[in-house]
Structure formats: structure tokens, C-alpha cells
Amino acid sequence: MSNIPKHIGVIMDGNGRWAKRRGLPRSAGHKAGADNLEKICDYCNSLGVKALTVYAFSTENWNRPKAEIDALMELLYNYLLTVEEKFRNRNMKLQISGDVTALSEKIQKAIVHAEEVTSSGDGMILNIALNYGGRAEIVNAARKSAEDVKSGKIRPEDIDEDYLGRYMYTSNLPEVDLIIRPSGEKRLSNFLLWQAAYAEFWYSDICWPDFGNDDMKQAILDYQNRDRRFGGV
């Protein structure tokens, strides 16, 4: 496989429906989804994907029942505790994108630790979009640019796509080539709005916990047959 997408975004959707179909609580679906992430991570890393951004919790997911949010946060915390050991052999690096200040102190500390201990990894970057919203990200970039103008660092006319782009969470990552959404939904739900400008899309009816390496391979093979013109002919 050549022409591997450098940066893949995945909206890890369908955990709840996966669980419901099995007569399980939604939290069991989230656990199965987290387990699946490990498998897909290994697969993408082995293919030479540079960055994998996965949507784990949106700025809108606070609208869910508290018990479900608590279960998701607990799952996330437990995952963060395993990162140091798991990522070491794989040479992977962890990055979190989103407003982490709204998360508990315990989780914030675990994030800092996990990012720090994996920072020298030169394999794939797993970028977890957490309390992430594409609109919030753009608003944040606009605000920071406005502050730069106010402090005299730049003039308004200096603000261009590159300038604003540097304030996006993904500024250190390659352009997003491919966005995948399993579970049958065909919308972005506020994921990577800025970065999606020229990304290719792949949808699948399979719920995330069942989205396997073969499905990922199919998405990548399809991506490789796309004609990406970027506005040209």
C-alpha cells in the first residue's frame, strides 16, 4: 500500500447503538469502542499513518445524562493511565486537542503526564479530540489573533489562513487527508471544521466497536482512488 493518508480523522460513533443491539448498557459500548481504538491505532501505525485524530468527546456531548458523561470520563482516565506502557513499544505519541480546562483536575494531570511521557515517540501521533468543537477551535484562534493585534504583535491584514491555522490544535500535524464516520451518520457534528476543507470522506454503516482493520483498509483503498484536485483541473 502506497499513498497512505498522512492524517486520518475518525468520528468514533455508534457505541450506544452497538450496546443497545446487544442488550448492554451504553457504557459497555463505550468500553468496546475504546478497545477498538487500540486495534485501529496499531493498524494505522503499522501502515505508516503519521497522525490519527479521533473524536472522543464533543463540546455538545455535555448534553448527555451525567451518568453517561461520568462513565466516559472514567473510561478516559483509565485509558490515560495505560498510555505510558502501551505507547512505549509502539513509539507512539499522545496529543489531546480540545478545552481540557473543563475536565476534572485528576484527568488534566493524567493528560499532562501521558503527553509528557510519550513526547519523544517518533511513530504515529494519536490525537484525541476531547471536549473538542470545531467552532470553538476557530473562535479560540480568532480570539488569540485579536489579542496579537491588540498587543501590537501583528496588524489585522497579517491575519491569513496560515496565521489562523497556527492557532488550531492540529497545527503540528499534516493536513487531514481522510475523515471516516462509522455508524451510518453522515454529518461532521462539529469535528475538524477548519481541517476538513479538502479532506476526503468515508462513511460506513458499521458501528465503531465493530469497525475493524479490514474496514479501515477499505476506506484507505477507496481514498487512494480519489482524484484530489484541490480546485485545479
Positions marked catalytic: 13, 61
Number of residues near Mg ion (by CB under 5 A): 1
Binding partner at 10 among ligand IPE, Mg ion, none, C-beta below 5 to 8 Å by kind: none
- CA separation for the pair 29, 59 (Å, rounded): 20
Nearest distance from C-beta of residue 44 to ligand IPE, angstroms: 17
CB of 169 to ligand IPE, least distance (A): 15
Residue 56 binds to Mg ion (criterion: CB under 5 A): no
Which residue number places its CB atom closest to ligand IPE?
16
Considering the rule CB under 5 A, would residue 177 count as an interface residue with Mg ion? no
Tell me which residues touch ligand IPE (CB under 6 A).
Answer: 11-17, 55-58, 61, 72, 183, 185, 187, 189
Q: Is 137 in the site for Mg ion (CB under 5 A)?
A: no
- As a whole number of angstroms, the distance between CA 220 and CA 2 comes to 10
Alpha-helix runs per DSSP H in the chain: 15-21, 26-47, 66-90, 105-117, 134-150, 161-165, 213-224
Closer CB to ligand IPE, 145 or 207, in the complex: 207
Q: Which does 12 bind (CB under 5 to 8 A by kind): Mg ion, ligand IPE, none?
A: ligand IPE
Sign of the alpha-carbon dihedral angle for 76, 77, 80, 81: negative
Q: Counting contacts by CB under 5 A, is residue 13 touching Mg ion? A: yes
* 213 burial via Cβ count (<10 Å: 0-12, 13-18, 19+): middle
Strand order from edge to edge, sheet including 200-203 = 93-97, 125-132, 51-58, 7-11, 178-181, 200-203
| Residue 57 binding result from Mg ion, ligand IPE, none, given CB thresholds of 5 to 8 Å by partner type | ligand IPE
Closest CA to 213 of 22, 34, 47, 50: 47
Q: Residues interacting with Mg ion, by CB under 5 A?
A: 13
